[in-house]
Structure 1
Amino acid sequence: MPETPVLYVLNGPNLNLLGEREPEIYGRDTLADVQKLCENAADGARIVFRQSNHEGQLVDWIQEARKEASALIINPAAYTHTSVALLDALKTLSIPVIECHLSNPAAREAFRHHSYVSLAATGVIAGLGVQGYELAVKAALNLIRSA
């Protein structure tokens, strides 16, 4: 594990449209705003911030995190409810994993109530909008530093 903590923050499909897509659910902040929020909360840690609409790319980054990251924060978006591939990749990690959602999936459509990702997550933050990312960064750093 690196001396300076490295936090991977991975974002799934359609999060590149944050601020434009369904702002009544996801808010008006952009993904660039979220990245800045994470960097400001990093307290000396290095943030590797990425987004992809492609499941395989997310799997590749999770596998990369096995050797490069101190903790992983993931907003898998729609893949939360469908991706056994993400679950399997996350299960290979020995670092803290924080699942982060802008909205509260449990308060939405029934198909959003199940998360494959939660089965491999150390913790879950949901329903707090972009502030959830800031809390996820702080929680990940606390987990790293208390290990």
Structure 2
Amino acid sequence: MERPLIAVFNGPNLNMLGQRQPEIYGRATLDDVEQICIQTADKLDLAIDFRQTNIEGELISWVQECRKRARGIIINPAGYSHTSVALLDALLATDLPVIEVHISNIHRREPFRHMSYVSRAAVGVICGLGVAGYSLALQAMTDLILDEDDQ
């Protein structure tokens, strides 16, 4: 049986993890995050499509492609959380479960970071738990898929 595909998408500046503001985001790199996701997905019997982009339109195109090929989307939209209605619309159009992940606790930061458009499309939001949030999101997505399959 084919393993369910979960898209794990990362937005702008996450390619700078480990270098950019380590006091906020930690020292783990995006490659470290990808390895965490691969290991967690293997344990959960999931397939993942792990990507990062600094380009809003590219991220939106990836989200749109998920409609026909993925069972769910885990997304760290980074700065697009607070600015992109277009990303929100794309996520809503997929009719897939979405889990939003943030490495930092956006609610303890600057006021403009407290609001996320993406949260309106998300089943759940994990923030402030560092890169461990990705493995938690994969576990939660597995539970959502199993619940969906049982119905």
TM-score bracket, shorter-length normalisation: over 0.9
TM-score normalised to structure 2 length: 0.94
The residue correspondences of 1:1-147 to structure 2 (distance < 5 A) are: 3-42=2-41, 43-147=44-148
The number of residues matched between the two structures is 146
Superposed CA offset, 1:74-121 (max 9, x none): 000000000001001011022210000000111000000110000110
Q: How far is the alpha carbon of 1:3 from its aligned partner?
A: 4.1
Superposed CA offset, 1:6-50 (max 9, x none): 010000000000010000000000001101101111122111000
Poorly superposed stretches of 4+, deviation over 6 Å: none
State the one-letter code of the partner of 2:76: N
- Separation (CA, whole Å) in 2 of partners of 1:101 and 1:65: 21
- Report the aligned-residue RMSD: 1.0
- Separation (CA, whole Å) in 2 of partners of 1:24 and 1:12: 20
- Separation (CA, whole Å) in 2 of partners of 1:136 and 1:128: 11
Q: How far is the alpha carbon of 1:56 from its aligned partner?
A: 0.2
State the one-letter code of the partner of 1:29: A
State the one-letter code of the partner of 2:11: G
Identity of aligned residues (%): 59
Identify unmatched segments of 5+ residues in structure 1.
Answer: none
Q: How far is the alpha carbon of 1:146 from its aligned partner?
A: 1.1
- Separation (CA, whole Å) in 2 of partners of 1:52 and 1:145: 30
- Separation (CA, whole Å) in 1 of partners of 2:147 and 2:117: 27
Superposed CA offset, 1:58-78 (max 9, x none): 000000111111110000000
Partner SS, residue 68 of structure 2: helix
TM-score normalised to structure 1 length: 0.97
